[in-house]
Amino acid sequence: MSFTEPAGRQGSPDYRWAQDEREPWLAQAATIDADVAQYFLVSARCGCFMQAARSLNVRSTLLRKQLAQLEQALQHSLFTFQGSALSLTREGQQLQAQLVALAHERKLPVVEQPLIRLAVAESILHDILGRDLIALLRRNASVRLEIIALDSELSLRAVSADVVLWLAHGESPSPGPTFATSQPQALARLDYLPHIAKRYSRVTARPASADDLSDFMLVQWQHDRQIDGFRPWNELVEQRLAGVVQMQSYELMLEMIRCSACIGLLPAYMSRFDRGLIALPGLFTEAMQLQAWLAVNVESRDVAEVQTLVELIQHTFNERHEWFQT
C-alpha cells in the first residue's frame, strides 16, 4: 500500500514524522548544514551544477564535492543525468520536499550582494573592458553590478559611482568625477588615428594626406566633437560640405566604418580589436591622444567587491599593454 499525503497537511509536523518513519534516512534532513542544503536546493532548481555554482558565487568543484559528501552521508543518490539534463532521483525529490517543508522553520541564508556602480567611457567599455566584464558575470551570477556608459564630459560630471574609468586630454585627469575619489591612476595613453576597413582600401589607393580624404566619406562620433585633443580631425569634419555622417552611437559608427567604406577616427589599438580595420597614419602632423584614468569612490574603496572590480580593470589594461604602444 502506498502512503499518500493527505490534502491540506503538506509540511505539517505529523506528516513529516510519518514520512520519516517510512523513509528513516529523511530524518537527517534537519541536520544538514544550511549551506549544503542551499547547494542542493539551488542545484535542483537550476538543473545544472555550473549554473547553481554561478548563482551561489562558489566554485563548481566545491559545490560538486559538497553534494557528493551529502549523498555519501545519506547513502542515497540524489541526482541523475538523463542524456545531458540533470534531474533528481526519487530520493532527491523526497529530500527536496523535506527541505522545502523545513524551510519555514530554518531560514536558509540568502546573502545580499552590495550594489556596485561602474561608470566607464563608452569606447573603453566596448573595446577593452567588455569581454572581461562578461567573463566576470559568467563566473558570478549573484553579483549586483550597474554599468554606466560615459559618452560625454557632462555625463562624467553628473555621475555618481563606486569605480570610474574615463578619458581625458593631456597629462591631467581633469575633467574628472565631481565626488571624492582616491588618487586617479593613469592606466594607458591612447593614440587616435583615422581608420578604414581593409576590404575597401587597396594599398595603392589609401589616402596619404588629409587632402586625399576628400575622396572618402567621413563618419564622426558626436562625443568626439567635444574633445580638444581631436582638433585636427574635428576641423576637417566641420569643413565638409558633403560626404560626412555624424553618429550618436559609438557601436554604429564602428559598423559604418566596417561596412560602408567610411573613414572614422578610432584608437590606434583598433586593428588589434578588429583585424578587419586598418589605421591610416601620417594624415595629420599633430598627434591626437587621450589618457585613460581610474579612480575609486572614497566611501566604497574598502568594499571587497569594489576592490575585485578594480583589480579586474587593472589586469585587463596590463594584459593589453601592447595595444597602447605605437
> pLDDT for 185-235, tens place per residue?
999 999 999 999 998 877 667 888 888 888 899 999 999 998 989 999 999
Check whether residue 60 and residue 138 sit in a common domain.
Answer: no
Q: Is the predicted pLDDT of residue 8 greater than 60, yes or no?
A: no
Check whether residue 183 and residue 306 sit in a common domain.
Answer: yes
* Domain that residue 29 falls in: 13-102
> Mean pLDDT throughout 276-285?
93
Domain boundary residue, one of 54, 72, 102 = 102
Q: How many domains does the chain have?
A: 2
Check whether residue 86 and residue 211 sit in a common domain.
Answer: no
Check whether residue 161 and residue 31 sit in a common domain.
Answer: no
Domain boundary residue, one of 102, 134, 161 = 102
Check whether residue 83 and residue 138 sit in a common domain.
Answer: no
Q: Which pLDDT value is given to residue 136?
A: 87
> Mean pLDDT throughout 162-181?
93
Is 108 domain-assigned? no
Check whether residue 136 and residue 44 sit in a common domain.
Answer: no
Beta bridge partner(s), residue 190: 290
Residue 32 belongs to domain with CATH number? 1.10.10.10
Check whether residue 26 and residue 160 sit in a common domain.
Answer: no
Domain boundary residue, one of 79, 102, 125 = 102
Check whether residue 181 and residue 75 sit in a common domain.
Answer: no
Residue 230 belongs to domain with CATH number? 3.40.190.290
Is 7 domain-assigned? no
Look up the pTM and report it. 0.69
Check whether residue 249 and residue 121 sit in a common domain.
Answer: yes
Check whether residue 56 and residue 187 sit in a common domain.
Answer: no
Checking 91-97 for CB contacts under 8 A at 24+ apart, the result is 91/25, 92/44, 94/19, 94/23, 94/26, 95/26, 95/29, 95/40, 96/40, 96/41, 96/44
Check whether residue 69 and residue 146 sit in a common domain.
Answer: no
Q: Which pLDDT value is given to residue 119?
A: 97
